[in-house]
């Protein structure tokens, strides 16, 4: 008998018919002798509807009341799913985040989980019930309802699995696992049977939308085996694990890309100690996250500084940089919001030389110019012109043989 935590997102519970399908999936696991905790999101579109109601009342609702409002979406789903399970002869009980006692800090709309009291849930599991938990929400020490922000239901599921020492946490989505790259860009992209937490963290941080990065971090920290599966078709999905066996053969696991990149350059500033801080400090103070950084020093005692930021922050960063340039006596400020980042990810890089040069040659053969390069132990990222994104991804996918199944 295994203890399994399953999470179903808004699309998976978007209608009463889909909720009944989820109930049937859950009952199948129960009939196989497993204990089940099911974490659910609000029905698709419901959270946006609730936010719309608030905006009809006021342009600036209090964060506390917004959490009270949007948390009702999940409350509807847990009640309906529990009813659906009871209707097919499966004992079930629903709990809000506060009833489980998912304790969080008081940062409304982006609260972080501090502790989970699993006693009630364990008692219900031992009594043979399925426990249905509202994702995305908790309660602070003062008893205020809090919500966990984007990807909060994934985080709830992983946190419940960690607290209950579950055998596996299964995240059901509208895709059937983690792919070598986005199948919409490269049709020959292949579903991975297994990927390491390190690789998944890199993929999530680099733009892969399958799992929220907070949930992956949480699972990695508490050693919770994660599996990504489809709500709509049968299959084994992708297991995210710590194990790295067979990674000697699999040099690259996947290709991630991010379209939301922009590049800024400040030229001709004095090359002196502290210049990096004088340039990047004001950008950080403006709450703009910086990604890749390149510094080039000229022979005339000046330096050029290039960095990338999210495209939504491009104008704000440009305004800050122009002021910095004027203060430092810089020669010019240039920007480009038509770039993308393409990244190779794989723990096999640790034991294989020449991955980066092979990547650069593949892009060169397609006439793609590289604007910036960044590397880590298990990742190589390049910035290229946006028009070359799909060509670059497809070329790399073919060069590294990612469409082919790796022999185990």
What is the domain range of residue 308? 255-399
Same domain, 26 and 157: yes
Flag whether 193 is in a domain. Answer: no
pLDDT recorded at residue 246: 53
Residue 94 sits in a domain whose CATH number is: 3.40.1160.10
Q: Are residues 35 and 160 in the same domain?
A: yes
Two tokens at 357? 């040069």
Tokens at 250, concatenated: 């699999």
Q: What percentage of the chain reaches a pLDDT higher than 70?
A: 97
Beta carbons of 319 and 277 less than 8 angstroms apart? no
145 and 272 share one domain? no
Give 375's Cβ-side CA count (13 Å radius).
10
Q: In whole angstroms, what is the distance from residue 259 CA to residue 11 CA?
A: 24
pLDDT at 7: 97
Given 174, 201, 225, which residue is the final one in a domain?
174
Q: Note whether 132 and 266 are same-domain residues.
A: no
Q: Are 48 and 28 in contact (CB under 8 A)?
A: no
Convert the pLDDT of each residue in 210-258 to its tens digit: 787 888 888 988 899 999 998 888 889 999 987 655 544 557 889 999 9
Residue of 401, 399, 391 lying closest to 359 (CA atoms): 399
**pLDDT value for 407:** 45
CATH number assigned to the domain comprising residue 324: 3.30.2130.10
Q: Is residue 201 part of a domain?
A: no
Dump pLDDT digits (tens) for 156-178: 999 999 999 999 999 998 888 88
Give residue-wise pLDDT tens across range 5-39.
999 999 999 999 999 999 999 999 999 999 999 99
Q: Do 268 and 138 share a structural domain?
A: no
Hey, what are 380's tokens? Answer: 């190589």
| Rounded alpha-carbon distances, angstroms, from residue 336 to 148, 315, 331, 351, 391 | 34, 11, 17, 36, 20
Same domain for 150 and 41: yes
The residue ranking higher by pLDDT, 233 or 405, is 233
Q: Does 84 fall in a domain?
A: yes
Q: Which residues contact 150 (CB under 8 A, 6 or more apart)?
A: 212
Alpha-carbon distances, residue 33 vs 5, 26, 67, 81, 139 (angstroms): 14, 11, 37, 20, 32
Reading the block at residue 404, the tokens are 């082919």
CB-based contact 53:137 (threshold 8 Å): no
Of 129, 152, 174, which residue sits at a domain end? 174
Three-state SS for 185? coil
Q: Flag whether pLDDT at 78 surpasses 70.
A: yes
Read off the DSSP letter of residue 310.
Answer: E
- Total Cβ atoms within 10 A of residue 222: 14
Domain total in the chain = 2
Residue 150 pLDDT exceeds 80: no
Q: Which two tokens stand for residue 93?
A: 């009980």
Q: What is the pLDDT of residue 363?
A: 97
Strand order in the sheet with 168-173: 92-95, 130-134, 35-40, 3-8, 168-173, 226-230, 238-241, 194-196
The model carries a pTM of 0.80
Rounded Cα–Cα distance for residues 100 and 114 (Å): 13
pLDDT: is 301 or 87 the higher one? 87
In a domain, 345, yes or no: yes
Residue 151 has pLDDT above 80, yes or no: no
Residue 362 makes CB contacts below 8 A (sequence gap 6+) with 395, 396, 399
- Looking at the fold, whether 161 and 299 belong to one and the same domain comes out as no
127 close to 166: Cβ distance less than 8 angstroms:
no
Inter-residue contact 168 to 4 (CB < 8 Å) = yes
* Cβ-contact 307, 292 below 8 angstroms: yes
Q: Residue 347 falls within a domain, yes or no?
A: yes
Residue at 45 is within a domain: yes
Residue 152 to residues 71, 148, 191, 316, 391, Cα–Cα distance (Å): 11, 5, 25, 28, 34
User: What is the tens place of the pLDDT at every residue in 41-57?
Assistant: 999 999 999 999 999 99
- What pLDDT, in 10s, does the model give residues 110-127? 899 999 999 999 999 999
With respect to residue 91, please indicate whether it lies within any of the assigned structural domains: yes
Last residue of a domain, one of 128, 149, 174: 174
Instruction: Evaluate whether residue 231 is within a structural domain.
Output: no
């Amino acid at each position: 008998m295994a203890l399994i935590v399953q999470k179903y997102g808004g699309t998976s519970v978007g209608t009463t018919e889909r909720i009944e399908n989820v109930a049937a999936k859950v009952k199948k696991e129960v009939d196989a002798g497993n204990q089940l905790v099911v974490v659910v999101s609000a029905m698709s579109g419901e959270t946006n509807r609730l936010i719309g109601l608030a905006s009809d009342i006021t342009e600036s609702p209090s964060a506390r009341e917004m959490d009270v409002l949007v948390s009702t979406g999940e409350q509807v789903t847990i009640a309906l799913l529990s009813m659906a399970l009871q209707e097919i002869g499966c004992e079930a009980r629903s709990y809000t985040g506060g009833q489980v006692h998912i304790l969080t800090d008081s940062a409304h709309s982006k609260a972080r989980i501090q502790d989970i009291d699993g006693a009630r849930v364990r008692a219900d599991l031992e009594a043979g019930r399925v426990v249905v938990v509202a994702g995305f929400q908790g309660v602070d020490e003062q008893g205020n309802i809090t919500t966990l922000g984007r990807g909060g239901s994934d985080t709830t599921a992983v946190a419940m699995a960690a607290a209950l020492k579950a055998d596996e946490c299964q995240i059901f989505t509208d895709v059937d696992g983690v792919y070598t790259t986005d199948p919409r860009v490269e049709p020959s992209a292949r579903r991975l049977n297994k990927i390491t937490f390190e690789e998944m963290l890199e993929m999530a941080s680099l733009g892969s939308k399958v799992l929220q990065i907070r949930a992956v971090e949480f699972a990695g920290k508490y050693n919770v085996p994660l599996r990504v599966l489809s709500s709509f078709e049968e299959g084994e999905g992708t297991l995210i694990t710590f194990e790295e066996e067979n990674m000697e053969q699999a040099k690259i696991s996947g290709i991630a890309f991010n379209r939301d990149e922009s590049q800024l350059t400040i030229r001709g500033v004095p090359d002196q100690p502290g210049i990096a801080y004088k340039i990047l400090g004001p950008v950080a103070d403006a709450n703009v996250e910086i990604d890749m950084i390149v510094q080039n020093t000229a022979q005339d005692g000046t330096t050029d500084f290039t960095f990338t930021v999210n495209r939504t922050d491009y104008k704000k960063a440009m305004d800050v940089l122009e002021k910095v340039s004027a203060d430092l006596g810089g020669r010019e400020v240039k920007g480009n919001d038509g770039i993308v980042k393409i990244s190779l990810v794989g723990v096999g890089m640790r034991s294989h030389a020449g991955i980066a040069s092979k990547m650069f040659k593949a892009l060169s053969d397609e006439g793609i110019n590289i604007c910036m390069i960044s590397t880590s132990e298990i990742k190589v990222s390049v910035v290229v012109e946006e028009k070359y994104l799909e060509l670059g991804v497809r070329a790399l996918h073919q060069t590294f043989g990612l469409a082919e199944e790796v022999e185990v």
